[in-house]
Amino acid sequence: MWQQLLAQIKEGDRKGLARAISFVENEQPGYEELMAALDTGAEARITGITGPPGAGKSTLVDALIATLTAAGKKVAVLCVDPSSPFNLGALLGDRIRMSRWYLNPQVFIRSLATRGTMGGLHPKIIEIADLMKAAGFDEVLIETVGVGQSEIEIAGLADTTIVVVVPEAGDEVQTMKAGLMEIADIFVVNKADRPGADAFVGNLRLMLAPAFSNRPRSLPIIKTVAQEGLGLDELYAAIREHRTAAQPPEKRSWLLAERSYQLIQKERMKDVSRPALRAALLARHDEAHFNLYRFVRDFLNHH
């Protein structure tokens, strides 16, 4: 089975790729062999797009697809959506505004549910991103939920991390999470036609100056109005410039270490599932002196 999927991925068969994603997501027998046989040294680069909800990330991704396809690039897009707590499916489903790309032969879009993972990224995001790379795409865009730890986690996966904010953040830029400041390779101020955008960009530029941010160089700050496609050429130029700039070997080893850590952690945790926990709790939670910590210790000893 996995050999057939591997052949289809190499041939650029879209249906085969979609099946391979489900094959890996559901951990079908042979999925580990499929991953081990992939050519993950492909030239495709991963761009992570994160930021707070309401910043217009989906609109920006939609506009970026247009810019990349116009440049002749083949683009894969992974949209990580929050999960329903009941069936673990993606709540937002496929992005409506991206629907114009579904029949475009240069574009492949897949919505992924977080499935309750702590960090907010899909539990198989590393593997699925590598499937995209092996399938011959030039660009892989990953849009995160934009809440909690996923903003930081994406930096362990992406070659270039874009943090999207909006002028309304105002004074909040002063208290912006240190983590966001650390992971960003490019800042995008979207909806830059709104009042106060220039002042906001000025404040952001001051905060990101090397003297204040412990960075060797200033980060690019790109103003966009994604809904109108404004500023996208400048954003694409900044992405290309970031990739051609010499990245320190520490960054590459850090990226690989982060990916390795996630894979090893998942392997160690694979026998622990929420349904099994719920079933075990259901059997014991009525005990007169139920103790959660004792329950966890016993559960781990038996798994």
| Least confident span in 73-77, 186-190, 209-213 | 209-213
What confidence score (pLDDT) does residue 87 get? Answer: 40
Cα dihedral 286, 292, 294, 299 sign: positive
Rounded CA separation 215/182 (Å): 9
Q: What is the DSSP letter of 55?
A: S
| Least confident span in 14-18, 157-161, 172-176 | 172-176
Q: Is 269 helix (H, G, I), strand (E, B) or coil?
A: helix
Q: In the CATH scheme, what architecture does the domain 39-248 have?
A: 3-Layer(aba) Sandwich (3.40)
What average pLDDT does range 49-77 have in this prediction? 92
Hey, what amino acid is at 89? Answer: G
Rounded CA separation 277/270 (Å): 13
How many other CB atoms are there within 10 angstroms of residue 245's CB atom? 9
Indicate the pLDDT class of residue 169, thresholds 50, 70 and 90: low
| Least confident span in 4-8, 60-64, 173-177 | 173-177
What average pLDDT does range 42-56 have in this prediction? 84
Question: How much of the chain exceeds pLDDT 90, in percent?
Answer: 35
Q: Is 41 helix (H, G, I), strand (E, B) or coil?
A: coil
What average pLDDT does range 7-33 have in this prediction? 92
pLDDT (tens digit per residue) in 239-266: 999 988 867 667 667 777 877 887 888 7
Tokens coding 91: 């709540």
pLDDT (tens digit per residue) in 128-161: 998 999 999 999 999 886 655 555 667 778 889 9
Domain positions in the chain are 1-37, 39-248
What confidence score (pLDDT) does residue 90 get? Answer: 41
Give the list of residues 6+ apart from residue 283 with CB closer than 8 angstroms, or none.
Answer: none
* Mean pLDDT, rounded, of the chain: 81
What average pLDDT does range 6-27 have in this prediction? 92
Q: What pTM did the predictor assign?
A: 0.80
Of 95 and 290, more confident: 290
Give the list of residues 6+ apart from residue 10 with CB closer than 8 angstroms, or none.
Answer: 39, 134, 135, 136
Of 87 and 7, more confident: 7
